[in-house]
Structure 1
Amino acid sequence: MRTESDSLGQINVPKDVYYGAHTQRALNNFPISKETTHPEIIRAFLEIKQAAAQTNATSGNLDRAVAKHIVDATKILLSQPIDLTMFPISDVQGGAGTSTNMNVNEVVANTALEQVGRARGEYGYVNPNDHVNMGQSTNDTYPSAGKIALIRLLEPLFSELTLLVDALGNKADEFSTTYKMGRTQLQDAVPMTLGNTFHAWLKPLRRDFKRIEAARNELYTLNLGGSAIGSGINVSYHYQVHIVPNLASITGLPLEQAHDLFDATSNLDSYVALSGSLKNLAVNLSKMSNDLRLLSSGPRSGLHEINLPSKQAGSSIMPGKVNPVIPEVVNQVAFEMIGFDTTVTAASEAGQLELNAFEPIIFKSLITGIEHLQQAMNTLRINAIDGITVNKHRLSQDIDLSVSFATAMAPIIGYKEAAKIAKESLRTGKSLREIAEKKNRFTESELAHIFKVEDIVINARTPEHGLVLHAPKTTV
């Protein structure tokens, strides 16, 4: 063990660790979760420390030799996968993220000390607070690191969302002339195509992409240089002007400096907007998964319109049973994201005066939601959508037995008379066409039109894609 001290006094720290007193106290105080602060947040923090050291050196406030040691230390730490044994603090923590900020400060300082042949904890040469944290506060570094992490983690989500939309579009094309019954309130409605169904699923996802993208764009504005509550205390003007451009150069992201550094809420509305957009995506994915489970239900006593790929045995007691496990897991991720949205909203609202203390749970919720949605879309596409096949015989049978063609009769004989024919078909078990022919209310050309599903359903992959019914231009 080695003994370190802070403003609370002395504390023992394991001899070989790179963190120090503040991190050890956090480990003692926050045994909440086995999950640690996300590596992308740590990565962004290290980049912030590098940019801060460079900026403070050029301003003349930080000795250039010390700055170089700090920069070299961050480069070493960034050159390899984030070692979570160095950053062991729970991702749920009190203190508004101060413990994570100090954890990074201590690891950078001790890495720098090691590189110059000094002992860990010898902070008189490179100090976590006075040197690594110069010009900074948790108020501006923690939200900035969190935003950068979110921006990066959204990229694979956008990629998966695009791939899923493309997969749905391919199935829409494949099934563009596969006719089926549409349903409203789980009751027979009118004919459509299976392609219509896939288009109805992909369009909300396109809107989700735009909503998430708009929310992401709000994350690029950082309040670095604001220091404590945005007052800019102990921060040079040079630092305020140059820190974000320097960080943008290091990260490769188009980051912008907030015009009002006193924005102590750290753009919490942007977190709420992002969370809401992710929730919308989750709801649309869940609705699609509900439909997939219904359409594939059976195989003998359900709708059984489509076949989902068989992925694993569905029962420990019923031989041969196969369950829709992929849509089920997507549903569960959606339920989780809906809960995360509630958490983010509550945590954002709970902030008081010049600081929100609950950003750790906000970032945990957003990051977990993003990663789980990304993986859910991946497995939905690969293990479900791409392998869907159709039971054409069942679809044709449903259409042949349906009384929905009465809808096409209504423009000719009126809604009330068409309803009578439909009810008679249901009551007697006779086909709608058989009854319609006996009524002598339609010409042969009208009957041909009414019962020709190709004429009733018009398909086209256009922004206005949908079901269109045409009445024949004849008079009775």
Structure 2
Amino acid sequence: MTSPGATTGPTRREHDLLGDREVPAGAYYGIQTLRAQENFHISGVPLHHFPRLIEALAQVKRAAARANHRLGALDDERAAAIDQACQEIVGGALHEHFVVDMIQGGAGTSTNMNANEVIANRALEILGHGRGEYDHLHPNNHVNLGQSTNDVYPTSVRLAMMLSFPALAEAMDHLITTLRSKGEEFSADLKMGRTQMQDAVPMTVGQEFHGWATTIAEDVQRLTRTATLFQEINLGATAIGTGITSDPRYAQMATAELAELTGIPFVVSDDLVEATSDTGAFVTFSGILKRIAVKISKICNDLRLLSSGPRAGFHELNLPSVQPGSSIMPGKVNPVIPEVVNQVAFEVIGNDLTVTFAAEGGQLQLNAFEPVICFNILESTRIMTRAMNTLADRCIAGITLNRDVLQDYLRRSIGVVTALVPVIGYAAATDIAQSALQTGRPVAELVLERGLLDERRLTNLLSPSSMTRPVRPTATGTIPAITLDVESDSGEVARPQADPADV
């Protein structure tokens, strides 16, 4: 069999509005797909790059054929052949014959005709005829019966997105689980928190990782909830929403068939004219993808900062070394996984802007720019899914801590003075902070020297339990005693353990 895009070798002659053309004999697509291949050398990304879109197109065509058969508009043999051809495509067959560029003019007509032609030619084979013998079963008259690109294409895109987003949600869950696992592992490791790139107050490394997990977890729910907007479809609207050329019962019947085939509770839009030109669901969903991208990029920025160095940076974290980092600097290892995820996020943010402009560009009863909306949202979903899994498996899971660095930062920081404010007051705490900054002496040493607090009270106030979460004073105004995070004679700082009575 010749390859789908071949222009040499055996051919068959097909005819359309513009005349006759030779189509590769081995191709399941036909003349209109051939013309689209010639016209749209744009992204270089063919339809089969997104298998879920091909599956969605086949499911919509299958639902339409079943509805038309029930309505008596399609005979038993043709309906069965179309149904079988669609089933095969849903199962992964013939995807390589969906060759039209994802970005195309015509509001998706080339995509619809590519599907019509492939399904028709496979159905012809099932019926015992040759490809291109459309007198027996025609791409438009039978496969596209009661349909228009303007209801088939947006319905298929919505279904493709419903089929695609669960993989992203699963990848997000995997990243969340990995972050939380690290949060538990580092739950007792103190560090200095920072605001505006300046020392703030102490926290645990575990709190930092749990914070990252929480911010991603919020959007798993938003993603799933937003995807339900795609369940309202305009199948049966045909050209502009009036349902011209379709049976009055077709819209409800075809939508019910699609729901049964996919297990997704699709419903017919209340206003098919509005639904045919509306792209609001795409804008909202793309916005959620952008929101996720912004968050994940911020986390990667943090990881690159916290692992910077190793000698002249923060060097609090060690990211897994996955490849050499320089062709000229020996020993250099770069944070390549956060870097690539950052770039994915930039792409998704840009894709969302494209979706916004394309949605705004719609005119009157149709938006002609749904192909670029489809391409960008499916691409964002695909690369974000891969990025989440890559970040979890190739980076987060292997992170280790430089505890000596964390403890040294904590020991030398003036941020711990904030914990003393409720007891010694803001003015005295400010004076201590200024002195510590000017002299380089520890906060605790200055407080004891000035007699502001006794050693036991000071130690309690500067304990990990007091500095990393709210603490209610006792009736005597003291902080509940816990095992202290104090510098030993060896200069090491003990890792904190809270008193069970204080937990």
- TM bin, normalised by shorter chain, reads over 0.9
SS at match of 1:333: helix
| 1:27 CA drift (Å) | 0.9
Q: For 1:190-235, what per-residue CA distance to the aligned partner results, in whole angstroms no more than 9, with x for missing partners?
A: 1110011012111111111121112101111111111111110011
Distance 2:283 2:80 in 1: 39
Q: For 1:160-208, what per-residue CA distance to the aligned partner results, in whole angstroms no more than 9, with x for missing partners?
A: 1111111111111111111110111111111110011012111111111
Aligned partner letter, 1:32? I
Count of residue pairs brought into register by the alignment: 465
| 1:469 CA drift (Å) | 5.9
| 1:470 CA drift (Å) | 6.0
SS at match of 1:405: helix
SS at match of 1:263: helix
SS at match of 1:228: coil
Counterpart of 1:21 (choices 22, 25, 31) is 31
Residue 131 of structure 2 corresponds to which residue in structure 1?
120
Distance 1:418 1:26 in 2: 73
2:259 is the alignment partner of 1:248: yes
Residues 113 and 120 in structure 1, CA contact (< 8 A), matched pair in contact too? yes
Counterpart of 1:60 (choices 62, 68, 72) is 72
| 1:238 CA drift (Å) | 2.7
Residue 41 of structure 2 corresponds to which residue in structure 1?
31
Distance 1:145 1:418 in 2: 64
CA RMSD, Structure 1 to Structure 2 (Å): 1.6
Counterpart of 2:144 (choices 123, 133, 144) is 133
| 1:2 CA drift (Å) | 2.2
2:77 is the alignment partner of 1:77: no
Equivalent runs, 1:355-366 vs 2, <5 Å: 355-366=366-377
Aligned partner letter, 1:59? L
TM-score by length of structure 1 reads 0.94
Q: For 1:377-399, what per-residue CA distance to the aligned partner results, in whole angstroms no more than 9, with x for missing partners?
A: 10110111111111111111111
| 1:237 CA drift (Å) | 2.0
Structure 1 residues not aligned, in runs of 5+: 459-467
Residue 106 of structure 1 corresponds to which residue in structure 2?
117
2:341 is the alignment partner of 1:330: yes
Structure 2 residues not aligned, in runs of 5+: 1-10, 479-503
SS at match of 1:190: strand
Equivalent runs, 1:19-418 vs 2, <5 Å: 19-37=29-47, 38-84=50-96, 86-265=97-276, 267-418=278-429
400 and 52 in structure 1: CA distance in 2 versus 1, 3 angstrom threshold: same
Distance 2:403 2:94 in 1: 52
Distance 1:315 1:240 in 2: 60
Distance 1:62 1:133 in 2: 11
Distance 2:61 2:199 in 1: 63
Q: For 1:432-474, what per-residue CA distance to the aligned partner results, in whole angstroms no more than 9, with x for missing partners?
A: 222211211223333222332333223xxxxxxxxx3667854
Distance 2:388 2:84 in 1: 39
Q: For 1:389-448, what per-residue CA distance to the aligned partner results, in whole angstroms no more than 9, with x for missing partners?
A: 111111111111111122122222322221111111121222222221121122333322
Distance 2:165 2:159 in 1: 10
Q: For 1:299-353, what per-residue CA distance to the aligned partner results, in whole angstroms no more than 9, with x for missing partners?
A: 1111111111111101111111111111111100000000011011110110001
More deviation in 39-48 or 378-387?
39-48
402 and 80 in structure 1: CA distance in 2 versus 1, 3 angstrom threshold: closer
Residue 444 of structure 2 corresponds to which residue in structure 1?
433
Residues 308 and 387 in structure 1, CA contact (< 8 A), matched pair in contact too? yes
Counterpart of 2:15 (choices 5, 15, 30) is 5
Residues 241 and 276 in structure 2, CA contact (< 8 A), matched pair in contact too? no
Equivalent runs, 1:441-452 vs 2, <5 Å: 441-452=452-463
Residues 455 and 470 in structure 1, CA contact (< 8 A), matched pair in contact too? no
Distance 1:155 1:5 in 2: 42
Residues 42 and 82 in structure 1, CA contact (< 8 A), matched pair in contact too? no
| 1:360 CA drift (Å) | 0.7
| 1:52 CA drift (Å) | 1.3
Distance 1:240 1:339 in 2: 36
